[in-house]
Amino acid sequence: MKARILDRGDVLKIVDLLRRQGFEVIAPFRVRGRDTYFDAVSDQNRDQVEIHFNNPYYPPKRYVLPHIEPLLTVKRSNGELQIEPAYEQPKRAIFGIRSCDVAGIYHLDLFYLGGKFRDLYYENHRKNLFLVNLVCSDPERDIGGECFCVCADTGPASRDHFDLQLMDLGAEFMAVAGTPAGEQLLADSIFRKAAAVHVERRHAILDEVRKRFKTSTSWFSTTVRYISHNEVLEKTWEEIGNRCIECGGCTYVCPACTCFTVTDRQTGAGEIERVRIWDSCALGGFTRMAGGHNPRRAVHDRRNRRFFRKLAHYFIQRELSMACVGCGRCVDVCHGNIGMPSVVEMIRRATSSQLANGGRAGDPGPTPQPANSGRAGDPGGVGRP
Amino acid sequence: MAHTLSTCTFCGVGCGLYLETAGNQVAGVYPSFSHPTNQGRVCVRGWHVHEVASSPDRLTSPLLKRNGRLQQASWDEAFAFIAERLAQIRERHGPDSIAFLNSPRCSNEESYLLQKFARTVIGTNNVDHGAGVYSNNSIDILLDMLGVPASTNSIAELAQSEVILVDGVNLARRLPTVAGAVIRAKLNGARLIVVGTRIHRVAELADLYLRIKPNSEALLYGAMAKVIEDRGLMDLAFIKSRCRDYEPFLSQLHTYDLVHAAEGCGVSADLIGAAALAYAGAKSAALLYSISMGEKSEQNIQALVNLALITGHLGKPGSGIYALGEQNNVQGVCDVGTLPDRLPGYAPVASSEARAAVEAVWGTKIPATPGLAARSVLANRGNGKVKALWTVRYDPVSTAFVAGVRESLRQFELIVVQHLFMSETAQFADVILPSTAYGEEQVSFTSSDRRIQLAAKVIDPPAGLTPVWQQLTRLARLMGADWNYSSAADVMHEIGEVVPFYSGASYDNLARDYGRQWPCTKDHPMGTPFLYARPGAHRPFKFVPVKPPPPFVAAPGFPLMLVCGNSLYYWNQNVLIRHSETLKREYRMLFLDYPEGFVELSVEDAKQLGIRDGEKVRLCAATGSATSTARVAAEVMKGIVYVPYFVRDVQEQVLGEPGLTHKLVPVRVEKEEMA
C-alpha cells in the first residue's frame, strides 16, 4: 500500500478530483445538534462537507442497497405482458465513509456477490463505487458514545476494502491507497511522499484513540461460543425479546443487515412495479408463511434469530467475520436497550453464571405453551387448526 | 438528494425524523438523533411514514358526481358546484343543516380554517373531529379538573419518573415510542404499574400488573385513593393550596372499601395496596392513558386525575398526567377549535364573552348554539336535520366507532370529501377534492405533549393538487368571505391571535429548534415542557367525586362478558398502513388468518368450551346472536369475549342495535356445528 501526505486545506480537493472524474460524490453533512447525513456533493454545498462528524445514523449502505428499490415494471399492452428491468448503474464515490461502514459494505458484498448467485441489482450499484474511508482519529468528534469497532475488529482504521483511506494527522492528512483506482488518484499534485515521522504519528494517534472508546470490549468471543453451542438459556432470549417493541430499527440502520422483501405495487391501469424494500427479522410478517404458520411467532424467537445470524460460528465461518461491524447504531436506535453490546453482555452473564452454578448448559427446549395460544401482544395469531 | 427535518404524522408522540428525497420522490426516512422526544428512535410506522406520498393510487383530479357516477371535473367546476350547493342547502334548511368533520390527522392550519369556514362562512358550530366520537370526554374532564386539556408533561420526562402507571393501553403496539421510554425508565430503576385486562408487552415487564376486570378501573383507582387516604399519604399542602372540592371527594371516597373493590376488580387487595403505596410514595410519578380508546369511561379518567391530585403528582418533571393521542394531531385539532361546543383555545361557544373575543379577530359573528358532535352526525344525521356533510382526510366508513355510518351517508343531499385517496367514504361523495400529502406541504401538528412542530415540504405535489387550507380559502372567497392567507404561516399567525397559548408559535419560532410546547406565548416563546411549575393565583385543580361503578352481573345462561372495543386492531384501517407494503403486512396479518373477522376468547374458556382456534362459534346474548370465527389468544382474560369494533355486523346482531356500548353484555359462546 502506498501512503501519501496532503495538506489539511487540500482534503476536499479529493472530492473535486472525484467529481471531475465523473463520480457522483456522497459526503457527510451536519444538520443540527447531533444529526448528520450523507448526501450528494454539489457546487453549492461542497464547502459544508464535514471531516470530523458523528457518523450519520442513516447508514451509507443504502447506496448499494436502497431503502426502496424498483426492480422491474410489468405492463399489459395488446394482451401481452412487457417486462422492463429497472437497472441503475451509477458512478458513485462515498467520501468520508467510516471504517465500520466500509466493513459493512464488504459484508454486503460477501452476501450479494460472494456466493453462487450474484445479485445483479446490487452489483450494478457496487461496480463503480469508490470508497474514501476516513479514519476515526478525533476521540471527541468521531467516536460516538456507543461505538465499539475496536471489539468488532473493524476500526478505528480499516485495514482493507477501501479505495482510499484518509487520516487526520493534525496539520496534514495521510492518504493510503487500497486499490489500483485509489493509487491512481494519488498521482495528483496535492499528494506528496510520507516520511517515517508520519507513520509514527499515525500509530501514536491510533493508540490513543483505541483507549478512548467507552465500550472497549463486548466479550464477543464468549458469546459467540455460547450461541454457536446453543448454550444460551431460553429465559435470556425471552428477556431480550420482551424488551423488543418490533420497530425494525436495528436492522434498518445495521450496515451488515442484508434482508429485503419483494412486493408488487400497482402504478396504473394494467401496470405494476416490482420493488424490494428493506425488511426486518424483528417483524412478525418476516417469517410468516402462506397459510398462517409462523415458525418464529414469538418475539424472542425472532430476536434470537438476529443474534444467531450475526454471531453463530456457522455464519462466521462462511463469511470470515461476524455480521456486526461495531458501529453502535443498533444501541442508539433501540427503544429497549437491546443493541448488540448489551445483548452480548446479557447472554454472557446469564449463561456464565448458569454454567458456574453447575446448571445444565443449553437450551432446555421450547417452553411448553398451551395449545392454540398466541403470545401476548403478538398479532400473528396462532397456527390454523 | 436532500435531507429535511420533519415530524412523523402517525401518532401523537410526534417523533422528529428526516425525510430524504431523490428528485421529486421521498426516498427514505430515519429518526432524528437530537429530537427531544424520540432521541434517535422511531417505531415501525415511522420507518415507513414516507410511503404515502409515493403511493401510486393517489387521486389527482377533482371528481364530481354526474348521473350517479363520479367523473373527472375541473377545479373551477368543482368549486363552483360546492359553493352553489352549500348556499342552496343553507338557504333551504338553515346553516345548521351542514356539518363538518375532519380527521384527527389534519394539520392545525386546515383544522383551524375548517372550523372558521363552518362558523363564519356557513354560520354553524357543527364541526368536530373524527376522534371526537371517543376522545372528547378526556378533553372535557381535563379542562374541568385541571384547567388544561392536555398531557401535563413531556414524553422525554418519563426518564425522570420514579413510578409509571399505565392505564389500559397496549403501548408497544399503539404508541411504541412511549413504550420504549417506559421500558428504559424501568430498566433504569423506575417502578412500573400496569392496569388492564389484556396482557401486552409493557404489562409483561411490569413490577405490578393489575389484570382487572373490564370497566372496573374507576373502582380500582378509587380504592387506591382510599388506601392513600387511610395511610395518610396524601399531599395535604398541595391539596390545600391548589385544589378545590376535596371534601365532597373525600365523603364519596369513604364509600369505597378495599376488600369489596378487590372483589369487583378481580385483583387482590394486597396488589391494590402495593400499587397505591408505590404511586403515593414516589417523588415523581406519571399516569399514562390513551384518549383514543372508545372503551374508556369518564369515571375512569376522573378517578385517575383524582389520584394525581391527592398525591400532588403534578407540576414537577416526570410527575403528571399523560393523555396520549393515537392520531398525530388529535391535540392540535382540538386546540384550534374543531369542536362543536368550543372555540379555538377551548373557550365555550355558549359564552358571549368568548365569542366576542374571537369575533373581534374574525370580524364576523359566531353562532351561539353549540353544534352537533361527530357521533350524532354519523349515526343519524343529527336526527335527520343535517343535509350536507363535509369531511377532510376523514374516512368514517372504515374508521368511525359508530355503526350505521353507511346508511347515514346514503341519505345526505351533499357530501364533500377532501382526501388523498378514493376512501370508502369518498365513494359516497358528490364532490371529491384531492389534496396534497405529507411531505408535499408545510404545515404544523401538535403532539400529545403539546409540542407544536412543523412538517416540512420536501417534494412537489402532483400537478394541480393544493393543500386543504388553500382549497378552503378559495371556497371561502368564492362564497364571499374576505380571506387572504398566502401561506400556512399566515394561518398560524392568526391562530396565535385567537388561541392565547399559541401566541408565540410563529413559524420562525417553531423552525428554530424542534418545535415549541404550548403554552408558547409572546412572553414565553421557548414554550413549556411541563405545566403548573409555578403555583397559580387561585386553586386551579378540582377533585371530582366518582361513585363506585356497579359490578358486572352475569345473567343466568350467559356466563361470559362481551367487550366491544377498538383495541390494537384499529390500525388496520389506517391510510398509511394500507399504503405501506411493510405495514400492510404487519398490521393486517390477522385478516389473512381470519378473513371474515373474529371474536376473541381466552385460552381457558376455549378449552372449557372445547373450541379450537379458527373454529366457527355462535355468540348469544339476550338481545340477539351472531356467528363468527374464534381467535383463541393468551392475552385475553378468562371470562371475556372480545369483539373488535370493526366486526360491526357481529356487534349489531348480538346487541340488537347499532353503535358503541360502554356496557358489558352477558353472553354465551357455543360451538357452531358444521352443516
Per-residue pLDDT of B144-187, as tens digits, reads 999 999 999 999 999 999 999 999 888 988 899 999 999 999 99
pLDDT score of B575 more than 80: no
A vs B: CB pairs below 8 A: 194
B56–A284 CB contact, under 8 Å = no
| Look-up of cell digits 396462532 | A382
For the stretch A97-137, pLDDT in tens is: 999 999 999 999 999 998 888 999 999 999 999 999 999 99
Q: How remote is the C-alpha of B412 from its chain's centroid?
A: 26
Which chain A residues have a beta carbon less than 8 Å from that of B27?
A: 66-68
Looking at this protein, which amino acid is placed at residue B319? Answer: S
Residue B159, burial from CB neighbour count under 10 angstroms (0-12, 13-18, 19+)? middle
| pLDDT level of residue A365 (50, 70, 90 thresholds) | very low
Q: State whether residue B338 sits within 8 Å of chain A by CB.
A: no
| Look-up of cell digits 371516597 | B253
**Nearest one of A325, A12, A324, A60 to A166, comparing CA atoms:** A12
Q: Tell me what pLDDT residue A380 has.
A: 37
pLDDT score of B380 more than 50: yes
3-class DSSP assignment, residue B108: helix
CA distance B646 to chain A (A): 16
**Nearest one of A98, A224, A212, A203 to A155, comparing CA atoms:** A98
B207 φ/ψ angles, rounded to the nearest 5 degrees: -70, -40
Q: For the residues A228-248, what does the mean pLDDT come to? A: 92
Residue A183, burial from CB neighbour count under 10 angstroms (0-12, 13-18, 19+)? middle
Q: From the list A242, A266, A337, which residue is nearest B57 (CB)?
A: A266
A273–B40 CB contact, under 8 Å = no
CA distance A145 to chain B (A): 13
Rounded CA separation B582/A279 (Å) = 8
pLDDT score of B541 more than 90: yes
A376–B201 CB contact, under 8 Å = yes
| pLDDT level of residue B131 (50, 70, 90 thresholds) | confident
Stated as kind and residue range, the H or E segment containing B86 is helix B75-93
Rounded CA separation B29/B50 (Å) = 7
Looking at this protein, which amino acid is placed at residue B122? Answer: I
Number of helices (H), then strands (E), belonging to chain B: the values are: 25, 26
Which segment, A342-356, B259-273, B579-593, is predicted with the most confidence on average? B259-273
pLDDT score of A376 more than 60: no
Q: Tell me what pLDDT residue B360 has.
A: 95
Q: Tell me what pLDDT residue A364 has.
A: 47
A123 φ/ψ angles, rounded to the nearest 5 degrees: -60, -40
The answer to whether A268 and B56 are in contact (CB under 8 A) is: yes
Stated as kind and residue range, the H or E segment containing A267 is strand A260-268
CA distance A187 to chain B (A): 31
The answer to whether B243 and B309 are in contact (CB under 8 A) is: yes
- Give percent of chain B with pLDDT exceeding 90: 68
User: What are the residues whose beta carbons fall under 8 Å from the beta carbon of A4, sequence distance 6 or more?
Assistant: A174, A175, A176, A177, A186, A191, A192, A193, A194
Region for residue B99 given its phi and psi (left: phi exceeds 0; alpha: psi -120 to 50; beta: otherwise)? beta
Q: Tell me what pLDDT residue B144 has.
A: 93
Nearest-5° Cα angle at B177, B8 to A244:
130
- Give percent of chain A with pLDDT exceeding 70: 92
Q: How remote is the C-alpha of B62 from its chain's centroid?
A: 29
Provide the grid cell at A100: 465500520
The answer to whether B652 and B658 are in contact (CB under 8 A) is: yes
Q: Tell me what pLDDT residue B294 has.
A: 62
- Within 169-188 of B, beta carbons closer than 8 Å to A belong to 170, 172-173, 176-177, 179-181, 183-184, 187
**Average pLDDT value over all residues in chain B:** 90
More confident residue, B661 or B12: B12
Q: Tell me what pLDDT residue B1 has.
A: 62
- B109-136 burial, b if ≥16 CB within 10 A, otherwise e? bbbbbbbbbbbbbbbbbbbbbbbbbbbb
Looking at this protein, which amino acid is placed at residue B587? Answer: Y
What is the pairing mode between strands B63-66 and B69-72? antiparallel
| pLDDT level of residue B135 (50, 70, 90 thresholds) | low
Q: Tell me what pLDDT residue A353 has.
A: 87
pLDDT score of B351 more than 90: yes
pLDDT score of B660 more than 70: no
Mutate to test the interface with A, among B21, B174, B589, B591 (most CBs of A within 10 A): B589
| pLDDT level of residue B285 (50, 70, 90 thresholds) | very high
A283–B41 CB contact, under 8 Å = no
Provide the grid cell at A194: 510520507
User: What are the residues whose beta carbons fall under 8 Å from the beta carbon of B38, sequence distance 6 or more?
Assistant: B13, B15, B16, B17, B31, B32, B46, B177
Rounded CA separation B350/B345 (Å) = 14
For the stretch A11-46, pLDDT in tens is: 999 999 999 999 999 999 998 878 899 999 999 999
**Nearest one of B448, B499, B374, B463 to B99, comparing CA atoms:** B374
B179–A335 CB contact, under 8 Å = yes
| pLDDT level of residue A216 (50, 70, 90 thresholds) | low
Provide the grid cell at B336: 384550534
Q: For the residues B528-549, what does the mean pLDDT come to? A: 86
The answer to whether B99 and B377 are in contact (CB under 8 A) is: yes
CA distance B610 to chain A (A): 12
pLDDT score of A377 more than 60: no
3-class DSSP assignment, residue B274: helix
Calculate the dihedral angle through the C-alpha atoms of B462, B463, B464, B467, rounding to the nearest 10 degrees. Answer: 30
CA distance B194 to chain A (A): 14
CA atoms within 13 A of residue A289's CA, in its CB half-sphere = 7
- Within 72-91 of B, beta carbons closer than 8 Å to A belong to none
**Nearest one of B275, B181, B182 to B220, comparing CA atoms:** B275
pLDDT score of A368 more than 50: no
For the stretch B439-476, pLDDT in tens is: 999 999 999 999 999 999 999 999 999 999 999 999 99
Rounded CA separation A372/B603 (Å) = 8
Region for residue B68 given its phi and psi (left: phi exceeds 0; alpha: psi -120 to 50; beta: otherwise)? left
Nearest CA in chain A to B2: A39
Q: State whether residue B41 sits within 8 Å of chain A by CB.
A: yes
B204–A242 CB contact, under 8 Å = yes
- B12-22 burial, b if ≥16 CB within 10 A, otherwise e? bbbbbbbbbbe
Which segment, B498-512, B560-574, B618-632, is predicted with the most confidence on average? B498-512
CA distances from A345 to A217, A348, A356, B673 (A): 10, 5, 16, 54
Q: Tell me what pLDDT residue B550 has.
A: 83
The answer to whether A161 and A186 are in contact (CB under 8 A) is: no
Which chain B residues have a beta carbon less than 8 Å from that of A367?
A: none
The answer to whether B616 and B596 are in contact (CB under 8 A) is: no
**Nearest one of B192, B194, B211 to B265, comparing CA atoms:** B211
| pLDDT level of residue B655 (50, 70, 90 thresholds) | confident
Which residues partner with A110 through β-bridges? none
Rounded CA separation B299/B222 (Å) = 10
Q: From the list B40, B170, B634, which residue is nearest A57 (CB)?
A: B40
Q: For the residues B78-85, what does the mean pLDDT come to? A: 95
